[in-house]
Structure 1
Amino acid sequence: MIQQIDASGKPSRQQTFGVAFVGSGSAQLKTVLSNDQLAAVVDTSDEWIATRTGIRQRHIAGPDESVRSLGAQAAAAAIAQANLAPADIDLILLATSTPDDLFGSACQIQHEIGASRAVAFDITAACSGFVFALVTAAQFIRTGAYKNVVVIGADVLSRLTDWRDRRTCVLFGDGAGAMVMQRCEESDRLLSFEMHSDGSLNDCLNATYQHESTPLADEVTTQKGGFVPITMNGREVYRFAVKRVPEVLEKALFHAGLSTSDIDWLILHQANQRILDAVAQRLGIPAERVVSNMAKHGNTDAASIPIAIDEWVRAGKIKPGDTLALSGFGAGLSWGAAILKWGQ
């Protein structure tokens, strides 16, 4: 076990375990919506979308696909890559803003993959969700409560997209990715993390619940309504991201005792290529070390970081021992970063 050091610099009585990252997976969606196809729906073009966002296409969940099915597919692939069985999993955390069931979809995924021993619950933090869920999972592992944890990011944003609004509909896609985290007694591969929220900026990006009052009995009224499509102030979100993301990454690197030169791969939430380029430039990280797959996936919310990790792992680009700098940012507004080493 890893020994904790207290404020005086002496070993504390409490001992904790380390965290290892041992498997990745992602879902393979059937339907692709290209920019040219989207141009037949709203007044836009492939050139307009690509030059402003870096997106060429996105995947759309079909009638037989859901957060449950996509999340289960990604989780099963990650578990298999980790050489584990579903029965080995102790905890499943699902980061999503679009659950199939408003009471949560993690339990549905738990049943779908046959992880009968696992406790499962959802976390909602939008585009920061996967990083927040990863950090949450690490706390259960470090205390020794659980050994094998699956963290999933899955969203079907097509449910919340206004396909008549060309400012937002060009951005979003559906997808799911997953990672297996495992208890480790010899080292801790989650080197550091940093998380923040600012609810005063909530109006910049949201999908709010709107209702009307409905009389029920005497002077009692109830609310009846639903969630409206995503609205976004793109200019303010861009300003927020290019300022806060480099800051949170620099803080996380400082906590880890590392510098930007130690990063093998910068993996940001895939929101907009311009944001990725601006963050990398500010941090002095060369383009060849910045992971970008938004050209074929678009913005998949909580799914974007784990999908990117899985694609780079399976392509042999991310190797055991590589240092990854992750950052999620978006609605809330919220933002966070995690520095980790891939593998056991």
Structure 2
Amino acid sequence: MSRAAVLAGVGAMVPPRAVDNDELSQLMDTNDQWIRSRTGIGRRHWADPGTATGDLAAVAGERALASAGSRSVDMLILATSTPNQLMPATAPEVADRLGLGSVAAFDISVACAGFVYGLATAAGAIASGIADRVLVIGADIWSTRLNPQDRTTAIIFGDGAGAALLRAGQPDEPGALAGFDLGSDGSLKDLAMVPGGGSRERSATEPVPETDQYLYMRGKEIFTHAVNRMGSSSARLLERIAWDADSVDWFAGHQANARILHTVADVLDVPRDKVLIHLDRVGNTSAASIPLALADAASAGRIAPGDRVLMTAFGGGLSWGSAALTWPRIQVPGVLSS
């Protein structure tokens, strides 16, 4: 029987500082009712000055290792769009802080779909025999990239990190990743992007606006594409692995917007009471959102061993991806301050 990637542990964290909607209403033209009605978000957590993405990633990684009861790791994959610095990658620093030695460690940048892409990359490494145990971390600190004058983004994003340890196992055992569906559309890259900071800006012949350092999104168009892409990706995956929608126990979608999550669930005929919602307390944490939602639900006892879990995400690129597994018997620590 071929090797499969099996979930062995999960860990997550958010920074201690909680920023509720009332606090944001003191900074910009908005209010709690307006934010909740459009996003479902009540608060988000922002990192304190001096805290970097790698700091959050290391804590989440440590918790995932504790959840698995093992510190044996052959590879570390960090999904992030907000690395500690442009170069070198943040993953080797996180591996060093975790005491993992000279393991393979690298970043991937797939925006909010990064964790699902990281799972797929890890599963490939395990299936091919390159690694036996892979730590996948999704972490982002977007609060430093938000334009306080842009209500489209400033009310949505929070900071956080989530991690999963995968081990080599058998395809038919609990926790085995059942399959993936991945995709992208670079022709729509300008729907969500940070224009500045890269080689295009450095080689520009004209001065670039200061606002190019901030995240920019075309919200209404993102909503439409997110629903379509996550819905179609999830449907393809369910067909590929022969799961009926009514057999899905939990729908763990990217925590960007409650209306998006419920609409995608409706498209798939998955009851809304099976949709995991964590964004009301942490906002959109980008690559960290799915593992944060999983850790929150599992630590509270909502996800039980044997439950079928469908994950799907959508982000800038445009990029999207879906994954599925049957939940194993693991102990998951709670999410800090959530």
Encode CA deviations 1:248-304: one digit per residue, 9 max, x unaligned: 101000110111111111000001111011111111111221000111110111010
1:30 aligns with 2:16: yes
What's the CA shift string for 1:21-57, capped at 9, x where partnerless?
Answer: 0110012411011100000000000110001000011
| Distance of 1:225 and 1:340 partners within structure 2 | 45
- How far residue 244 of structure 1 moved from its aligned partner, in angstroms, is 1.6
Q: Which moved more, 1:188-197 or 1:105-114?
A: 188-197
Confirm whether residue 199 of structure 1 aligns to residue 186 of structure 2: yes
* Percentage of pairs with the same residue: 38
Q: 1:293 aligns with which of 274, 278, 294?
A: 278
Q: 1:213 to 1:267 in 2, by over 3 A?
A: closer
> Partner residue of 2:336?
none
Work out the CA distance in 2 between the residues paired with 1:148 and 1:59. Answer: 30
Q: Which amino acid aligns with 1:202?
A: K
Find the residue that maps to 1:279 and give its secondary structure. Answer: helix
1:276 paired to 2:266: no
Q: CA, structure 1 residues 139+52, in 2 after alignment: closer, same or farther (shift >3 Å)?
A: same
The aligned runs of 1:1-344 (5 Å cut-off) are 2=1, 16-85=2-71, 88-103=72-87, 104-185=89-170, 187=172, 189-209=176-196, 211=201, 228-343=213-328
Q: 2:302 and 2:271 mapped to 1: Cα distance? A: 16
State the secondary structure of the residue aligned to 2:304.
Answer: coil
**Contact in 1 for aligned 2:25/2:31 (Cα 8 Å):** yes
Runs (4+) of structure 1 exceeding 2 A deviation are 185-188, 209-214, 221-227
Q: Is the partner of 1:211 in helix, strand or coil?
A: helix
Aligned 8 A contact 2:111 2:315 in 1: yes
Distance in 2 of aligned mates of 1:289 and 1:332: 28
Give the equivalent residue in structure 1 for 2:334. Answer: none
The C-alpha deviation readout for 1:190-209, integer Å capped at 9, x for no partner, is: 11111110011111111112
Select between 137-146 and 314-323 the one with higher mean Cα deviation: 314-323
Amino acid at match of 1:66: A
Equivalent position amino acid for 2:107 in 1: D
Q: Gaps (5+ residues) in structure 2?
A: 330-338
- How many Å apart are 1:330 and its aligned residue? 1.2
Tell me the amino acid that sits aligned with residue 211 of structure 1: E
Question: Does the 8 Å contact 2:250/2:276 carry over to 1?
Answer: yes
Q: CA deviation at 1:134?
A: 0.4
Question: Cα distance, 1:95 vs. partner?
Answer: 0.3
The one-character-per-residue Cα deviations of 1:109-158 (angstroms, maximum 9, x if unpaired) are 00111111421100000001000010000000111221111100000001
Q: Partners in 2 of 1:314 and 1:72 — Cα distance?
A: 19
Q: Which amino acid aligns with 1:148?
A: R
User: Cα 1:63–1:329, aligned 2, differ >3 Å: closer, same or farther?
Assistant: same
- Alignment partners' CA distance in 2, 1:323 and 1:134: 17
- TM-score normalised by the chain length of structure 1: 0.89
Q: Distance in 2 between matches of 1:327 and 1:243?
A: 12
> In 2, Cα distance between the equivalents of 1:117 and 1:259?
43
Aligned to 1:10: none
Flag the 1:275–1:211 CA change in 2: closer, same or farther, 3 A.
same
**CA distance in 2 between partners of 1:119 and 1:213 (Å):** 32
Q: Contact conserved, 1:132 with 1:336, CA < 8 A, in 2?
A: yes
Distance 1:276 1:325 in 2: 12
Q: Does the CA-based 8 Å contact 1:75-1:177 persist in structure 2?
A: yes
Q: Considering only aligned residues, what root-mean-square deviation do their CA atoms show, in Å? A: 1.9
Q: What is the alpha-carbon distance in structure 1 between the residues aligned to residue 167 and residue 203 of structure 2?
A: 48
TM normalised by structure 2 equals 0.91
Q: CA deviation at 1:343?
A: 1.9
Higher gyration radius (CA):
1
After superposition, the Cα gap between the structure-2 partners of 1:222 and 1:52, relative to the gap in structure 1 and judged at 3 Å, is closer
- Relative distance call for 1:190 and 1:280 in structure 2 (3 A) is same
